[in-house]
Structure 1
Amino acid sequence: MSIHRLSCRIVCTLLFVAAFAPASALGQQKEQASANPESTADDAKAGADASGERLLEEAAEISGEVARIRGLSLKHEIKKGIRNRDQLRKVLIERLAEEVTDEDVENEAKVFKKLGLMPEDLDYKQTLLDVLTEQIAGFYDQNAKELYIMQGIPLELQRPAMAHEIFHAIQDQHFDIKRMVEPISSKENGDFALARSALIEGDASVVMIDFSLYEEGVLPRDQVRSIIDIPMMANVLTQLTREDIGALQQMVPQGTNPSSPVDPSQLSESALADAPRMIRKLLVFPYFGGMRFVIKTRLGHDWERVNQVYKNPPVSTEQILHPERYFAGDEPVRLDYNVEPTFEDDALIYDSVLGEYQMRLVLEEHLLEGEDGQKNRAPLDKALDGWDGDRLRAYETSEGQTLISHLSVWDSLDDADEYFDALVEMMKVRYPDAKLTHNRGKYGQSVCMRAGEGDEAERIYLEQWGDLVLHLEGAPTKLDAKGKETDTTAYILRERIMRTVERTPFAEVYEQKVEAYDAEAATKDASDR
C-alpha cells in the first residue's frame, strides 16, 4: 500500500488509547454531554489545556517514564510542537503528498478495484484522507524529527497517545527509523514497508500498553518490566485482533465495564468503519501483527533481544507473521520478469511486492464471505504458508483497461499447488458464470476463463509451473464465429513472463539499496555543511 508507511500511526493509536483510557473517556464524555452540556465544555477545556503548556509538561514527564519502561535512554530532548486539529490535519496531508503523488494513489486504486477489493465508484484518495485525518491524536515526524501534539483531547486519552509517539522518537534516536524504511520505498515493495512498520509500531504499541497499565497500577512497577512477563496477559495480546479490542479492557480493573467492550467502529466514527476491508486490515496490521511479533521475540528474554532485531529488521510480512522464520534467516526471493515489447514502460502503472499478508487479504476478501466462508478458512490459511516471494505489475492497455500480472514463487511444489487451488476457488466465487478450462501437464497445471460479456469481457489465466504461480487478469479477449479465442495477449504475456523470470536473494538487493541510500545521504550531508 503506497501511503501505508505514514498512514497507520494515527488511526490505530487511538483505537488502543480508547481501550485503555480510564473510565472509557470517550464514552464518559458522551454521557456527560447528554447530562450536562455546559459542564462538559468546562471539563473538556480543563482536561485538554487549551494553552498547550500543560501538554508540554506532560510530554516531558512521559518521555522519562517511557525511557524507563523500555530501557532505552532519551539521548536528547525531543523537539515538540503543539497544534490544533486543523493544523495537524494540514501537516499530515502535506506529509502524505510528499510521500506519494495523486497518480500513485489513482493507479493503486485501479489495481485494488481490479482485484475486487473495493467498489468501482469508491474515491480511494478521499477515503484514505478521511480515515487518516478523522481522529488525529498527534504523530512523530521522522523527517522533521519533531513530535506533534494535538490540543483538544482529554488527558486520559492524550497521555497513552503521547507515550506511543514519544517512543517513536526514542526509536529514531537509537535505531534511525528513516534508514530502516527508506532504502526500499513502499511503492517499490509494499511488503517490505509493511514489515518494517510492523516492528516499529508493534514495539511502540507494547510500550504504550505497559505505560497505561503502570499508570492504572495493574503492573507492579518494581517487579514486572512488561505485560509480556505475565504469560496470561501476553497470550491475550498475541491473539488480539481489531475486532475484539474490547478484550483489552478486562486487563484494566479501574473504571471499566468488561461487559461493555469498546466498539472500534464507533471509536472511528464513520470513516474507518466504512472503509473497504482491505484498507482497514492494512492500516491496523502493523499494530496487531507487529505487537504479536514483538511479544514472541521478547518472551523469555529481556528487551535487549528486541533491540538486536533492529540491527537486522524483518524484511517481509512472512517474517512478522512467523517469527520463527525470521530467526531462522528465512528471507524472500526477489522476482523479476520482462514483458516487452507486449507492453512498453509507459504502460506500467504499478510495480510492487504484495507479500504473504496482502496476498492473504486478497483471498480472504472473496473466500471468507457467504455460506462457504468458514469451510474455506483452513485451506486458505494453508494456501499462503509456503510463500517465498512475488511481484505484481499492472499495465494500462490502449483501451484504458487495467491488466494485472502477478507472479509468485513458493517453497515447494506442494505449496505452489495449494496456492494455485485457492486462486482457482477465488475466481469461481468472483465469476460464478464463467466457463473454466483446466489443463494438467507434466510440470504443472493451468486454468483459463473468459469473464464478462461483450466489450466488458476479459481473459483470466492462472498457471502453476513448478514452484511458480502466475495470475493474469484483465487481458483482452475476442472470439471468432466458432467461439475460439483470437486475441493472443494472454498467451504472449505468459510466454514472456515464464521465459524471463529472474530470482535474486533479497539480501543482495537490500545491500545494494542501503549502500546507495548511505552514499546519497553522505553527499547530502556534505552539501549541507
Structure 2
Amino acid sequence: MMTHKWRPLGVLTLTLAATLALRGQAAAPANDTNAQTPSAQSVPDAEKPVRHITPAQAKELFASVDTILRFASDDSKLPVKSKVKRRLTTRNDVEKYLVEKMKDDKDAKRMERSEIVLKKFGLLDQSFHLEPFLVSLLKEQIAGYYDSKTKTVNLLDWIDPESQKPVLAHELTHALQDQRMNLEKWEDSDNDNLATNVAEDNHHISIDEQDTAREAVLEGQAMAVLVDYSLKPMGQSILTNPAVVKQKADEQGEDSDSPVLSRAPLLLQESLLFPYKEGLKFEVDLLADKGAEGAFAGVLDRPPASSYEIMNPHAYERKVKAPVLTMPDVHSLLDADYAPYDVGVMGQIDVRILSELFGGPQAAAALTPAWNGGIYYAVQKKDAPDKNSTASVGLLYLSQWKSPEAAAAFAKMYGDELDKQYDHVSRDTQNESDESEHIYKTSEGPMLLSTSGNSVFISESFDLTLARKLEFLMLGAQQSSTEGQSVAWSAVPRTGEGKSGMPSLTGPMMNFFAGCGVMRAALPAARF
C-alpha cells in the first residue's frame, strides 16, 4: 500500500538525510477558514510548559498561508495550481503520531534493519539504541509539516506566528513541488525486496542513492525559498551574496539550544543535516548558473541521482558520470551458509561521515574529494544464535580512490580505528601473504584489509580463505567492466518507475529525517 511523506517543519534542518521521513495516515485537516482553538487538555512538554497561541494568532497564521505561498511561487517560479489546505495541531497529537509511525513506518523499518550494518562499520556504537534516541530528537526539533497525501500544511499551536512564518515559506515550497511533481509518486519506492542474485545486486547499486539525492533537492529548494524570505525585508536575496549564504549553510547544526542533537552521534548529525546543508549549497550554485526556473523546475524535471552530484553541482550541470562499481556474483560462495542482508553504495557523503568520525575533519577534507566509488555487501549467518548482533553479520566493502596515496591513507585510517569497532583487536602478521595485506584478529572473527593500486578491499568476519576468494571476485569485476558496460548514476532512470527500496549506507536515516520537514538545525542558514 502506498504511504506518504510527512514533512514536519522545525527549528532544525536535515534529513537524518533527507527530512525525517515519516509516512502514514494523518488526521483530517481542520476547516480552512475556521481555525480551531487549541485544546486546554494538551499534554505539556516534559521540560517546559506549553504556551498555546491565541485564537486571534491562529487566525492570523491561517491568513498568512496564502501570502507566503505567493511569495514561494514568485521566488521559485513554481506556479500555484491549487489552494493548500491548512490545519492547527497540538504537540500532543504530533508526538503521539510520531511514536505510532516509528513502530510501523516503512522508512523506519528500513532504518532499523540498517542499524546493524552501521554498527558493523563502526558508524554507531554497539551499545547505541537508535529508535528511542530518534523519538527524543524529533520531539526536540519538530515545528510543523506539510502532508503530501492530504495536501495539507500543519501549523503548530505552541509556536508563535512570527516564528512559524519563515518555516511556512519552507513547507509551502514542498506544496508547490508536490503540485508540480506529485511527491507521492516522485519519491515512492515500492520495491523493498532484498537482492537475491547478482542482477538484483547491481540493480540496487545502480540506483542506490537516488532517494537521498531527491531529498536533498526538495530540502535544498525549500531552504533557498526560506533564505530569500528572510532576506527580503533587507532588499536582498541569495543571488546578492551567494558566498555568504553558503557560509551560513555550513553553520547549520550549530544550535546550542538543541541538547539532544548536540549529543547525537556524528552519523545522526550529518545525516540530519545533509539534505538541508548540501541541498542549499547545490541550489545556490544552480540559481547562479541557471536562474530560478533552472534551479527549481529544471532540477525537478532532471533530478540528480547521487550524493556526488549534490556535493558537486557543476558536475551535475555538466552531466558528469559518477562512478558506480560492479558487484560480482558472490552467491555461489555465500548462499549456503549466509542469507543476503544488505547491498548498496558507499557514496561520497558516506565516506565523508566515516572519514570525519575515524580521522577527524582534516582527514575528511582530504579523503572526500579523492573518493572514486564504493560498494558494500552484507550477509547474515543462517545459524547465528543472535540475529540482532553484529557478530551475526559478514561485511564486504570495496572502495576506489583517485590515487594510490589516497587509497593507502584510507586503508591506514580504517585499520587504525578497528579497536573502536571490536573488542580484542590484534594484528595477525603471520597470516598476511604480502605487504598489501593487513590482517587482524577481532572478537567477531578475522578482518582482512588489503590495498591494490587505487582500490581498498575490506572483509570482516569471513574466514581468510573465503575472504581472499571474495576479494579476487570483487577486484576482478572492476577490471573486467568496460566503460560501456559499467553503470553510471547519470544514466539511471529519473522517474519513480523502477526505483529501489534499498537505500545507500546512510540513506535510510537521511530519507527518514528529510520527510519530517525543516528543523532547528537548519535555521542558522536563514539568520542574517
Query: Do both proteins adopt the same fold according to a TM-score greater than 0.5, normalized to the shorter chain?
Result: yes
Count how many residue pairs are aligned between Structure 1 and Structure 2. 432
For 1:175, the equivalent position in structure 2 comes to 181
Q: Contact 1:89/1:136 (CA < 8 Å) preserved in 2? A: no
Q: Tell me the CA shift for residue 75 of structure 1.
A: 0.8
In structure 1, runs of 5+ residues without a counterpart are 16-39, 247-262, 477-486, 518-529
Deviations for 1:36-87, whole angstroms, at most 9, x for unmatched residues?
Answer: xxxx999x44x45488444322222221222223332211011323211122
For 2:18, the equivalent position in structure 1 comes to none
Structure 2 distance, partners of 1:466, 1:55, is 60
TM-score by length of 1: 0.72
For 1:381, the equivalent position in structure 2 comes to 365
Matches within 5 A, 1:117-516: 117-182=123-188, 191-214=209-232, 217-219=233-235, 227-231=237-241, 234-241=242-249, 244-245=251-252, 264-266=255-257, 268=258, 270-299=259-288, 301-306=290-295, 307-332=297-322, 333=324, 335-344=326-335, 347-368=339-360, 377=362, 380-397=364-381, 398-399=383-384, 400=386, 401=391, 402-410=393-401, 412=402, 414=403, 417-431=405-419, 434-435=426-427, 446-452=436-442, 456-465=443-452, 468-476=455-463, 488-499=465-476, 504-506=486-488, 510-511=492-493, 514-516=496-498
Q: Tell me the CA shift for residue 169 of structure 1.
A: 0.5
3-state DSSP class of the match of 1:349? strand
Q: Which of 68, 81, 84 is the aligned partner of 2:87?
A: 81
Structure 1 distance, partners of 2:325, 2:6, is 25
3-state DSSP class of the match of 1:168? helix
Q: Tell me the CA shift for residue 9 of structure 1.
A: 6.0
Q: Tell me the CA shift for residue 147 of structure 1.
A: 2.0
3-state DSSP class of the match of 1:174? helix
Q: Alpha carbons of 1:113 and 1:49: their partners in 2 closer, same or farther (altered >3 Å)?
A: farther
Q: Alpha carbons of 1:71 and 1:508: their partners in 2 closer, same or farther (altered >3 Å)?
A: closer
Deviates more, 1:272-281 or 1:139-148: 139-148
Q: What code does the residue aligned with 1:426 have? A: Y
For 1:21, the equivalent position in structure 2 comes to none
Deviations for 1:271-298, whole angstroms, at most 9, x for unmatched residues?
Answer: 2122111101110111111111110111
Q: Alpha carbons of 1:8 and 1:409: their partners in 2 closer, same or farther (altered >3 Å)?
A: farther
Q: What is the root-mean-square deviation in Å for CA atoms of aligned residues?
A: 3.6
TM-score by length of 2: 0.72
Q: What code does the residue aligned with 1:395 have? A: V
Q: Contact 1:147/1:165 (CA < 8 Å) preserved in 2? A: yes
Q: What code does the residue aligned with 1:166 have? A: L
3-state DSSP class of the match of 2:458? strand
Deviations for 1:217-237, whole angstroms, at most 9, x for unmatched residues?
Answer: 212xxxx5xx22212xx2122
Q: Which of 64, 68, 74 is the aligned partner of 2:70?
A: 64
3-state DSSP class of the match of 2:158? coil
Q: Contact 1:48/1:155 (CA < 8 Å) preserved in 2? A: no
Structure 1 distance, partners of 2:496, 2:49, is 52
Q: What code does the residue aligned with 1:471 have? A: I
The sequence identity of aligned pairs, in percent, is 22
Deviates more, 1:429-438 or 1:460-469: 429-438
Structure 1 distance, partners of 2:212, 2:146, is 18
Q: Alpha carbons of 1:55 and 1:241: their partners in 2 closer, same or farther (altered >3 Å)?
A: closer
Deviates more, 1:270-279 or 1:98-107: 98-107
Q: Alpha carbons of 1:490 and 1:8: their partners in 2 closer, same or farther (altered >3 Å)?
A: farther
Deviations for 1:324-375, whole angstroms, at most 9, x for unmatched residues?
Answer: 111121233253232223332962222222310111111110101xxxx6xx
Deviations for 1:401-450, whole angstroms, at most 9, x for unmatched residues?
Answer: 2222122345x5x2x65134213223113349632659898xxx733221
3-state DSSP class of the match of 2:272? helix
Q: Contact 1:63/1:166 (CA < 8 Å) preserved in 2? A: yes
3-state DSSP class of the match of 2:115? helix
3-state DSSP class of the match of 2:159? coil
Greater per-residue helix proportion? 1
Larger relative CO (CA 8 A, sep 6+): 1 or 2?
Answer: 2
Structure 1 distance, partners of 2:334, 2:468, is 13
Q: Alpha carbons of 1:54 and 1:156: their partners in 2 closer, same or farther (altered >3 Å)?
A: closer
Q: Tell me the CA shift for residue 299 of structure 1.
A: 1.5
Q: Tell me the CA shift for residue 143 of structure 1.
A: 3.4
Deviations for 1:199-250, whole angstroms, at most 9, x for unmatched residues?
Answer: 1111111111111232xx212xxxx5xx22212xx212212356x359xxxx
Q: Which of 108, 111, 136 is the aligned partner of 2:117?
A: 111
Q: Tell me the CA shift for residue 190 of structure 1.
A: 5.7
Matches within 5 A, 1:21-100: 44-45=51-52, 47=53, 49=55, 52-94=58-100, 99-100=105-106
**Larger gyration radius, structure 1 or structure 2:** 1
For 1:253, the equivalent position in structure 2 comes to none
Q: Tell me the CA shift for residue 93 of structure 1.
A: 4.6
Structure 1 distance, partners of 2:356, 2:8, is 21
Q: Contact 1:335/1:390 (CA < 8 Å) preserved in 2? A: no
In structure 2, runs of 5+ residues without a counterpart are 16-47, 195-203, 500-528
Q: What code does the residue aligned with 1:341 have? A: S
3-state DSSP class of the match of 1:338? coil
Q: What code does the residue aligned with 2:275 have? A: P
Deviations for 1:240-269, whole angstroms, at most 9, x for unmatched residues?
Answer: 356x359xxxxxxxxxxxxxxxx5141x2x
Structure 1 distance, partners of 2:156, 2:371, is 42
